Chain A
């Protein structure tokens, strides 16, 4: 985010008053070694304004420079500097009849002038409450992050321990200085601001370590300062854990090949930047504290080809690194890439028509599938019977063999089921072209399948293929061992072993308690475990029309390290679903893949991994078996204490992923993150990383819903929030009892917002009709999505894109003036809006990014010229109810919007489907449903939720 404070770093951990107050000028300030020199320090503001800001942490009027943050191009926005904060009581009592009268802020400002724009009540489509986000921006001004030592003497002449009036000011200034300021949530409803959004940074004593610490997008801890003991953690009531995205596609990854990989002799930790070098021959492990010897060749620096300086080694310069493993890391020769595709060709599957799309995508991207010359593919179709395709060499076309005896499946022609892709590419292509036609035709008579049983045209229990696989594996594993099975399933398997019964009661979809989140049988789990033992992962594409018992079937992916994709109500007649499936399947086929992988998480002595979350099989207390690892899978781990960390200054987590890449190379990817340890409860609370906490809580809640029930999980969310604020109140020594305030550290200010998003999410909501399969899939996503996508899934990003359009217009004018302007000028940073209808406005266009879906909401009164330029239509009436895809219009506005969407899609596995929703369209419900801050029939609004939390906080 290009906010004014980007580039500034938090100050050192321990305040040094002498340093802070010693001198007023930057130049003469002593800068001892290791101290950060702040760059990008804004010029000192005038003292009066400064003290005012300090006085009223929450209520200060925005400093003029806030205007730089907000693109001042919005016509209906008053000049930010002139926009005063309205009195909170007035604001809230007007909006919410239930609100209580607030205590005045300790040092009330002189009564602010009447605001120019009153925020409309939520739920109304009024004009954008221009003041609202701006106000907040000012309340936690950019200075909140920064360090302005040179300003301190002005605002606190009495020194750090002075007793005069400015003490309070100084304290507040300090707390902001150290990122420890608090926010009263009750008074700041517009909490989603650039000041609260970014996670707290990890502050280490060593600047170099800080700069190379593992990227937060790969590994993130829920607390950026680790409490030194379990009792301190319990006092904070925060969950301790890490969320990790180990196989993420990264741009610059140092890959090194060396004969011996330096590891600790005792705990087998890989050498990392956070180890301590005793001397040039010894290093001390940072996880178990054993002193190890350095091999001689570690002195050699491959980059400069010189000897002597160990600190120049890539292992010591990067906390994410990949080793090419020598042969002792292999139990057997690296396996080739093997892919087996199982297609459901029952009549329901044919009606949905997914097979055409799947075969077409497969055919097109056959060459892009990762793998070397040994890559093998195979295809099997199943309905009541199992159809194998033999593509042996010498055949002109694939031979189909149908297995009628599904009770005792066996493998006909085991030698030609899986064929080398390179050698038989023509045959494979031929088969892929024929498959859709083949079964479209076979189903025409329909008699034979119809007699299977009334209503169960579908056939083939999964067992036939599972058992087939068991046979198959004996064969294919002999020669190659392991690979990937992709299962396309379109309805409930209802034949043979592994047959399932419909369990969902459609009339009970909005009931308070949800049954059947557990698998009905352990058949699929056992199958998955068996696969996992043979290094086979099963991925599931569920394209169901009706209930298909996701909870049970997804077991084949959950325990074998696979992934699940769900396309409910897939129909070939719905182009958007086809598009969405195509892009998803394309990504699935072409993304990187790691075979026969294991991941081990090591922690500094005193900590241990308590529970793992994700799709894998836990093989020992810290080892995950991942038959396949893919770049879109995230994992979570809860951490618990074994002993206290009193002696440790920092702790580390190291995740090492050993895998075989598609080229048959054994590799180890190592991520190490280092975090400081603290003994102070307030510091723990202030260093909490809300997003990671939400990531971990959601995973824990899924476990809770499955093990216990959904309402338990929902209660746990609410209790967790209450407990955290209670703990903070105790940590801050705030008076107990009702005060009308809900004081939160800035780091945890967004917790209720996200928790409410979770409570209203399809995975955990009650009272709204949710299909069981959708709910189970949503829960599965909670467990497996990497954190950045999970956040979009839980709390979609909402933007008002007017500023983009105005930006495009302005640049249009300017580019007319000089044509040599760069095409790729940076887009303006759009502020994120909270998910409330109060921000909606009939004259603007909004964009909501939910991860795999981007919704563009077009207000009723958007000016026709804007519509023309962006969407190529003259009035909103021209938009249909369900419009997908952004139209191509040759205009700057359209171009800018496309670039914006491109940027949103940048980190996603595949680009999101764009849906355009007109204000009066029937699809509007989908958009409104995601506005989780608002009230619905069965759930609280954000403010009511806050009231509830506040009432419970003692």
Chain B
């Protein structure tokens, strides 16, 4: 039993993942509010857009840690999501500030349901990886 860089990585990943789960929950709630006519799309986009890049950066940061300590499997299960994030950000609507969501199109049913689905799927992914990170942490703590 030893506390090494891998164990440290997994602990950081656990904390980071908890934040990501919060981001995902916030995302789902925000779009549900839009759907149920509870909030103005302009306000909602203004509150969502600043959170997009921090979420992506945090996720990439966790994976950089995995890369440095050679946790290839953990890295691999996250690569599709990174690729999706990059693709998503490249195809964002024309806007001057950071973020993804455009108040004029966010209420289109297609966009709304896609964003909703994206939120749920990401929540599931983060949750599953959360448990995997716990396993990884325990594993790295007891393996040596």
Contacts and interface: CB of A to CB of B under 8 A. Distances in A.
Interface stretch (B33-41, B60-68, B74-82): B33-41
A611 B41 CA distance: 15
A618 B94 contact: no
A610 B103 contact: no
A619 B40 contact: yes
Interface string A264-286: 00000000000000000000000
Given A621-B37, A640-B109, A529 B94 contact: no
B40 A621 contact: no
A523 B96 contact: yes
Contact of B96 (A522, A533, A609, A617): A522
A484 interface: no
A522 B95 CA distance: 5
B37 A519 contact: no
Name the residue among A519, A523, A618 with the largest chain B CB count within 10 angstroms.
A618
Contact of B104 (A529, A609, A620, A640): A529
A323 to B, nearest CB: 23
Given A520-B94, A620-B37, A559 B104 contact: yes
B127 interface: no
Given A521-B94, A533-B42, A618 B109 contact: no
Nearest to A611: B108
A518 interface: yes
Interface in A859-884: none
B110 A522 contact: no
B107 interface: yes
The secondary structure that dominates the A interface is: mixed
A79 to B, nearest CB: 57
B109 A611 contact: yes
Nearest to B112: A621
Contacts of A775: none
Contacts of A610: 108-110
A608 interface: yes
A10 B93 CA distance: 48
Nearest to B39: A620
Interface in B84-119: 93-96, 102-104, 107-110, 112
Contacts of A525: 102, 104
A526 B110 CA distance: 22
A551 to B, nearest CB: 10
B42 A518 contact: no
B36 to A, nearest CB: 8
B109 A608 contact: yes
Contacts of A522: 93-96, 102
A617 B112 CA distance: 16
Contacts of A611: 108-110
B75 to A, nearest CB: 33
B104 A518 contact: no
A618 B107 contact: yes
Given A519-B94, A520-B94, A522-B95, A529 B103 contact: yes
Contacts of B94: 518-522
Contacts of A619: 40-41, 107
A617 B105 CA distance: 9
Interface in A496-528: 518-523, 525-526
Contact of B35 (A521, A621, A623): A621
Name the residue among B34, B41, B104, B110 with the largest chain A CB count within 10 angstroms.
B104
A618 B94 CA distance: 18
Interface in B17-53: 34-35, 37, 40-42
Contacts of B107: 618-621
Contacts of B103: 529, 617
Interface in A697-714: none
Contacts of B41: 618-620
B37 A618 contact: no
Interface in A590-635: 608-611, 617-621, 623
Contacts of B42: 529, 533
Interface string A102-140: 000000000000000000000000000000000000000
Interface of B: 34-35, 37, 40-42, 93-96, 102-104, 107-110, 112
Interface of A: 518-523, 525-526, 529, 533, 559, 608-611, 617-621, 623, 640
Pairs of residues from A and B, 3 with the lowest C-beta to C-beta distance, nearest first:
A620-B37, A618-B107, A610-B109
28 contacts: A518-B94, A519-B94, A520-B94, A521-B96, A522-B93, A522-B94, A522-B95, A523-B96, A525-B102, A525-B104, A529-B42, A529-B104, A608-B109, A610-B108, A611-B108, A611-B109, A618-B41, A618-B104, A618-B108, A619-B41, A620-B34, A621-B34, A621-B37, A621-B107, A621-B109, A621-B112, A623-B37, A640-B109
Given A609-B109, A618-B41, A618-B107, 18 more contacts: A522-B95, A522-B96, A522-B102, A525-B102, A526-B96, A529-B42, A529-B104, A608-B109, A611-B109, A617-B103, A619-B40, A619-B107, A620-B34, A620-B107, A621-B35, A621-B37, A621-B112, A640-B109
